[in-house]
Amino acid sequence: MEKIELDIVALSHSVTQSHNYAVVLGELDGNRRLPIVIGGFEAQAIAVAMENMTPNRPLTHDLFKNTLETFEITLKEVIINNLLEGIFYAQLICQGAKGEELIVDSRTSDAIAMAVRFNCPIYTFEFIMEEAGVVLEESEEKKLKSTKVSKKEPSDIKGYSTEALNKLLAKVLAEENYEKAAKIRDELNKRESGSE
């Protein structure tokens, strides 16, 4: 069965389920999108990795990545391999220390969080895209892109001094508020580069 490569297009609040998020995957060689509803913790795990943040304590996905690397196992790809009754299923395709292929079943949200950490490709199959994929109108596509994980700084932290921002960053990381930490880090990086 031919695989279709996907990329993360957006991570946003779910339109259909108020306390959840949606990760939207898009075909690399097409215009279809695959929206997958995920929980808040799973969205945070993906966002932290996408923003290249390092929490004070490793998140579960970081722990799993460290464990795989300790045993010289590499995540080669993630495959969203099934869709049953509206639930997506995935597999982690790994390479063991002796070069053998290892396959681990996974929740799709966890598989995506691992793919971001290992910087490996995400794939699915045509039957899944036919059943759950959508083609967005141009206006919907623009709206979706505007909900992408943003690296813009919030206006409420611009008034802070650099020293205060560093203290606030340490505080929000200790609270494991990685979304706010990413915004603070981006403001600090902007100041460091001199592009006010």
Q: What is the pLDDT of residue 156?
A: 58
- Specify whether domain 3-146 bears CATH 3.10.690.10: yes
Which position has the token pair 């109108």? Answer: 137
CA atoms lying within 13 Å on the CB side of residue 122: 26
How far apart CA 94 and CA 99 sit, in angstroms, is: 9
At 63 the pLDDT is 93
At residue 107, the pLDDT reads 96
Which residues are within 8 A (CB) of 183 and not within 5 positions of it... i.e. 6 or more apart?
152, 153, 154, 157
Tell me how long the chain is.
196
From first to last of the 196 residues of the chain, give the pLDDT tens digit: 899 999 999 988 766 666 788 999 999 988 999 999 998 889 989 998 998 888 888 889 999 999 999 999 999 999 999 999 999 999 999 999 999 999 999 999 999 999 999 999 999 999 999 999 999 765 555 555 544 443 333 345 776 777 777 777 777 777 777 777 788 887 877 877 775 5
This prediction's pTM: 0.70
Q: Where are the domains of the chain?
A: 3-146, 155-193
Sheet of 101-107, strand order: 101-107, 87-95, 74-84, 122-125, 3-13, 21-27, 32-38, 134-135
How high is the pLDDT of residue 141?
A: 53
pLDDT the model gives residue 187: 80
Q: CB within 8 A of 23, min separation 6: which ones?
A: 8, 10, 11, 35, 36, 38, 43, 46, 109, 112
